[in-house]
Structure 1
């Protein structure tokens, strides 16, 4: 962060966002009179996570008397009120972390002026923030309306130029910062200087021999489950159920009676859940856009969470499907499901397993004083396993987020490009940890069932990014 413009591309889970936050911390001891860093992110959960990181890093500084709330503040809709803007103008943080919509509100309606104080603009997931098309076509981009947030940045740079102030440092980051995205950035007038620091983490590691090109993909298992028009499930490599091949044996735990399995896994609540045993008489979760989530998909997810997940998992559903009914259905299956919400539950989502173990140990401590032997206490601690939590989110709000101990990602359709798959699947296996990604796609004739994600399309994506399909064990 010495002042040069930066273009940073590295794989998902490599620590790009956290590294950029760490680089800002040395500035906290310096006096400031306004917002010096504008940090733009694609969605509010990432904004709240970065805010939390900033506050924790500031609090951890030795002999620091700086109030963390004065260092960083997240701004996201719907919390873009006149009262919020007035408070920011009165007590500006050093770092403002904003979503595109909130930044537009702040500049156009909130009277926020940054041209006299801002020294740095960081854009995380720049291809998503700027809504750059997946493929670069000069004619397409020339005729395409510029994104609103790009217009806001253009206006800010123009005001700074008119006031004869130096251009702010520009830091652009993404795991999918491909050549057409870089070309778009350099075509923006006044954004990037002639001298630019280019950091390509993947290529640099390959060139140095630090790891082979397939090292990361071997850390993460990728599975595809195909959903037929009638809701039946099969693995990607399986022959179509109507192909005439006899099915002499049940190939997995969900192959014959998923409801019975889930009934055994469900906690024996009085009266039952009302969802178990007759899955195709259940109400399919759907919207007016033709998107549907068959009950068998949620049954398969619930079974996998119960049998495979030790701590946390993430279910990503197509944008347009309401999260509430999905969460309630999963809870009916006995899963501890909740909507992903970093603003309300940042501590829960960010808690690591060892921290929960410490909290559990602290709760157990009184038993020792009451006569329980230390050895017995130790045995209890070793057996401590928290209930697995399934977080539910839509495809547009998971890019960039980091959830400790997340082992499984379930993708229930809604993918539009291989970049979408990379970013969503990248929530698993972060920082070199093993992970599992299970994708549900529509078979021929059932493409609309899962937001248009098709069987043949996912096969091409796997070929392109170089991953192998591993059969989902609970159906085949």
Structure 2
């Protein structure tokens, strides 16, 4: 129960209003550590309740602060506009019965309006790094009163090239602050460096290795011959499977637009979202999806950590994720809060190695399926087809391979006959001196060599 975590009654009341009664595992672990004033490195699966795991102890610390005539007291950095808005929504619900105010600064919104909001000094500020740094570089004063800095999806910000921006922002914050880093994965190669730069003796809370496949998500692959085959197969898939809403990932913005138009032409209610869209257009698409007017959303990875829509039962990797972490975040959009979900990845010959790498990363094997009437000519690498499974050749195949290798070696080691010798095969040859031995005279016309005998 949340009451056992020492939270203020106003926060408990807000949770009750949302029918949230029991804390999740990450909330049970992170809230006491955060309230104790420790720096944190927290890793937990997507959909496990990480946002409340930092919002609740943050709100509790600020409610305990008697001085209200100060500047911003808490800063939450998020990699994308979508995630920032999602955090804002949850923060407003959690702080509903308190005096705490929340502001947001992100790309795509009016700069002057944001500057006016910042002058009001909201206790909690949610921001994307690029836009916040822009405000700092213009006229936003340093946040000398800041008590808590939170980096949500810190590894994603590193992937997006925000390392220098985050360090620049942190140099403008109070040095005595607490710093909490939250993510579904903390395996980014630059993460340890960032943690050393921003935290002091942090407590590590690792509730997911980031490599364990979600038990409630069925993970499957469909082999494909290429782009045309993918288009036909995904159309059949989306028209025959039973699902409320589906999320389809591609690796490029161009592919998002192309696939969205193609699916619409097949009379599938489809929307698109990617980083180059205007914020107004992105908001419109998300609202249509929430209302059910869009059943299939095609997106780039910008959506993987920023979309929070209930009812996504199917995730399709139209293009295979480039690494295990991106794959984990993609499929984490389904199967949330214990619900069942399905993740299907299309695999062309060029994507086989990506799939194999993700399987190794997650220590799992994906189920291979086929859509009747849309089977692929491609059946996997030759070694895989010969063995009958992805685990390697069977013992019988290995034995046969050894026998073939032995025969080849024997053939290679067999002495080779000269061409003139090959011509004389089957012909009777005159005996040589060596063949005759010492007791026989050499053939006529051949002088026997020996000491004192000269050659002609």
Once residues 131 and 310 of structure 1 are traced to their aligned partners in structure 2, the CA distance between those partners, rounded to angstroms, is: 32
The residue correspondences of 1:88-167 to structure 2 (distance < 5 A) are 88-109=117-138, 111-131=139-159, 147-157=163-173, 160=174, 166-167=175-176
Q: What's the CA shift string for 1:411-448, capped at 9, x where partnerless?
A: 122632221111112222122221111112331xxx3x
1:225 paired with 2:131, answer no
Once residues 70 and 287 of structure 2 are traced to their aligned partners in structure 1, the CA distance between those partners, rounded to angstroms, is: 30
Q: Kindly state the Cα deviation for residue 80 of structure 1 after the two structures are TM-superposed.
A: 5.3
Aligned match of 2:249 in 311, 316, 329? 316
The answer for the alignment partner of 1:171 in structure 2 is 180
1:218 is paired with a residue whose SS is coil
Q: TM-score, normalised to structure 2's length? A: 0.64
Does the Cα contact within 8 Å between 2:288 and 2:294 map onto a contact in 1?
no
Q: Kindly state the Cα deviation for residue 7 of structure 1 after the two structures are TM-superposed.
A: 0.5
1:305 paired with 2:238, answer yes
Q: Kindly state the Cα deviation for residue 410 of structure 1 after the two structures are TM-superposed.
A: 0.9
The answer for the alignment partner of 2:76 in structure 1 is 39
Structure 2: 5+ residue runs without aligned partners?
Answer: 1-33, 274-280, 376-456
Does the Cα contact within 8 Å between 2:222 and 2:347 map onto a contact in 1?
yes
Aligned match of 1:456 in 353, 359, 365? 353
Once residues 298 and 15 of structure 1 are traced to their aligned partners in structure 2, the CA distance between those partners, rounded to angstroms, is: 36
Once residues 195 and 366 of structure 2 are traced to their aligned partners in structure 1, the CA distance between those partners, rounded to angstroms, is: 38
Aligned residues: 329
The answer for the alignment partner of 1:192 in structure 2 is 199
Q: Kindly state the Cα deviation for residue 118 of structure 1 after the two structures are TM-superposed.
A: 1.8
Once superposed, what is the RMSD of the aligned Cα atoms? 3.0
Q: Kindly state the Cα deviation for residue 295 of structure 1 after the two structures are TM-superposed.
A: 4.3
Q: TM-score, normalised to structure 1's length? A: 0.62
Once residues 244 and 162 of structure 2 are traced to their aligned partners in structure 1, the CA distance between those partners, rounded to angstroms, is: 42
2:330 is paired with a residue whose SS is helix
Q: What's the CA shift string for 1:267-312, capped at 9, x where partnerless?
A: xxxxxxxxxxxxxxxxxxxxxxxxxxx3442333333233224311
The residue correspondences of 1:404-423 to structure 2 (distance < 5 A) are 404-413=310-319, 415-423=321-329
Q: Kindly state the Cα deviation for residue 407 of structure 1 after the two structures are TM-superposed.
A: 0.8
1:7 paired with 2:41, answer yes
Q: What's the CA shift string for 1:97-154, capped at 9, x where partnerless?
A: 2222212222213x2224223211111111121339xxxxxxxxxxxx9833233234
Once residues 146 and 48 of structure 1 are traced to their aligned partners in structure 2, the CA distance between those partners, rounded to angstroms, is: 19
Once residues 343 and 205 of structure 2 are traced to their aligned partners in structure 1, the CA distance between those partners, rounded to angstroms, is: 28
Once residues 123 and 254 of structure 2 are traced to their aligned partners in structure 1, the CA distance between those partners, rounded to angstroms, is: 37
Once residues 36 and 104 of structure 1 are traced to their aligned partners in structure 2, the CA distance between those partners, rounded to angstroms, is: 17
Aligned match of 2:88 in 39, 51, 69? 51
Q: Kindly state the Cα deviation for residue 338 of structure 1 after the two structures are TM-superposed.
A: 1.4
Does the Cα contact within 8 Å between 1:314 and 1:406 map onto a contact in 2?
yes
Once residues 345 and 104 of structure 2 are traced to their aligned partners in structure 1, the CA distance between those partners, rounded to angstroms, is: 32
Aligned match of 1:23 in 57, 71, 76? 57
Does the Cα contact within 8 Å between 1:17 and 1:400 map onto a contact in 2?
no
Does the Cα contact within 8 Å between 1:120 and 1:168 map onto a contact in 2?
yes
The answer for the alignment partner of 1:210 in structure 2 is none
1:426 paired with 2:328, answer no
The residue correspondences of 1:309-458 to structure 2 (distance < 5 A) are 309-321=242-254, 323-340=256-273, 343-344=283-284, 389-399=295-305, 401-413=307-319, 415-443=321-349, 447=350, 454-458=351-355
1:152 is paired with a residue whose SS is helix
2:95 is paired with a residue whose SS is helix
Does the Cα contact within 8 Å between 1:54 and 1:71 map onto a contact in 2?
no
Once residues 36 and 414 of structure 1 are traced to their aligned partners in structure 2, the CA distance between those partners, rounded to angstroms, is: 41
1:171 is paired with a residue whose SS is strand
Once residues 166 and 115 of structure 2 are traced to their aligned partners in structure 1, the CA distance between those partners, rounded to angstroms, is: 24
Q: Kindly state the Cα deviation for residue 350 of structure 1 after the two structures are TM-superposed.
A: 5.6
Once residues 282 and 94 of structure 2 are traced to their aligned partners in structure 1, the CA distance between those partners, rounded to angstroms, is: 18
